Amino acid sequence: MKRIIISGGGTGGHIYPAIAIATALKDQDPSLEFLFVGAEGKMEMEKVPKAGFNIQGLPIVGINRQNMAKNLMFPFKLIQSLRKAFQIIAEFKPDVAIGVGGYASGPMLIAAWVKGIPFFIQEQNSFAGITNKALSGKAKHIFVAYPGMEKFFGKDKITLSGNPVRKDLIDLAGKKDKASSFFGLDPNKKTILVIGGSQGARSINLAIQNGLAAIAEADVQLIWQTGVSFENEAKKASGATNGLKSYVSAFIYEMDLAYAIADLVVSRAGALSVSEICLAGKPSILVPFPNASEDHQTENAKSLVNNGAARLVLDKDAQADLVPTALKTLTDKTVLTELGLQSLAMGKPYAATEIAQAILNDMNPCA
């Protein structure tokens, strides 16, 4: 029985691709044993067990770029995490490690390298993260989601695989009627899907809230994922808007149905969201989170915009421009169709399977 450690996390953009890779590996070789390693107190400690995998946490914390004083404990947390990473390797005895980015992957991959355990990296963003860049020289191979990543990694180590995403988004055909019933919407009306990531996005939420009357006047309906903190306010505002047909929720688990009925998606530009939008072949208005590390969300958004697959609205302009841009895009059938086609062309539906197969081929070169 061969064993694989998968390390990383901190956000859904790291966790869900990691789970997708593990699931694809297990589908191809059910005898494999897995252990996830994440950051204590982060969402992976809940999400990974729900997906059926074991996980251990490291006390590692990320670097706070807004308040450097809060980084005083970072060296101590790093040392503690490295010690625990070496302990995990000694106990679990992995054959291979996979890092998916995020600060939790650093100590684990360093320990794997020191102990001579081969490791792979999966980079979700179009601007590589600090951890992945620092460790790329020691990696056996690096799977990337965007072209042009040789500016960060050795060209001979890169495979353009795309980002692994949930399987149910690969085929949305025939789901629109089910979606309209589930969300209580009209299948014949134009629909905007608003998603701001698992925590919501305040600038997007406020822009949508202020534009509810205009959305209703345009006879457009709304699926609005708000995040927990804005849910009550959003429900109150949408309920008070005459003529608006909407579905409002803090979090949407049935994303395949949401994409199936959506004519246009308004979203942050996190790696996972962008990959899902492309896989679903949906036109989108992207509003990058301006404080993301290395401004990687803006780079992700530009990758779509430069390929004619999306429109960009900066966070600072969202209040004035987001809803007008969305409504204008919806009314231009030619633009809407072209954006959707270009988006679909950028999708990589079999990323998880391809990554899993490459890793298994390396683990079993004679098979």
Residues comprising the binding site for UDP-N-acetyl-alpha-D-glucosamine?
11-13, 125, 166, 198, 252, 271-276, 297
Q: Which residues are annotated as a binding site?
A: 11-13, 125, 166, 198, 252, 271-276, 297
Count of CB atoms within 10 A of residue 149's CB?
A: 22
Q: Which residues pair with 35 in a beta bridge?
A: 5
Check: CB of residue 323 under 8 Å from CB of residue 210. Answer: yes
